[in-house]
Amino acid sequence: MNVGEPQRVIEVVPLHEPVPREPKPVEPEKEPVYEPEKEPVEP
């Protein structure tokens, strides 16, 4: 590709890189564990 003679040099510093990222894996919600209430133990 012939893009011709250089005219100037610039610096581009984007706030966000224009690269699509892999979506972060979403952890499945943990089901609440049922714990039966313990009956008080009489001394």
Partner 1 sequence: MMGVSDTYILPIVGCRGWVLREGKLSSYAVDYFWIPKKANVAQCGGYEHVKFWGPHKIQSGPKLIPHASSVAPLAECGCGFYAFKTLLDLMEWLEHREPNIVVGEVYLWGRIVDCQYGYRAQYAYPKRFYSNSYEDNAYNNSTFELRDFNVPVEPMPETSYAT
Residues that bind partner 1 (CB under 8 A): 1-15, 17-22
Tell me the closest approach of the beta carbon of residue 16 to partner 1, in angstroms. Answer: 9
Closest CB to partner 1 among 7 and 40? 7
Q: How far is the CB of 28 from partner 1 (least distance, A)?
A: 24
Cα 17–Cα 21–Cα 26 angle in degrees, nearest 5: 140
**Nearer Cβ to partner 1 (12/41):** 12
DSSP 8-class letter at 35: -
The C-alpha atoms of residue 35 and residue 21 are separated, in whole angstroms, by 41
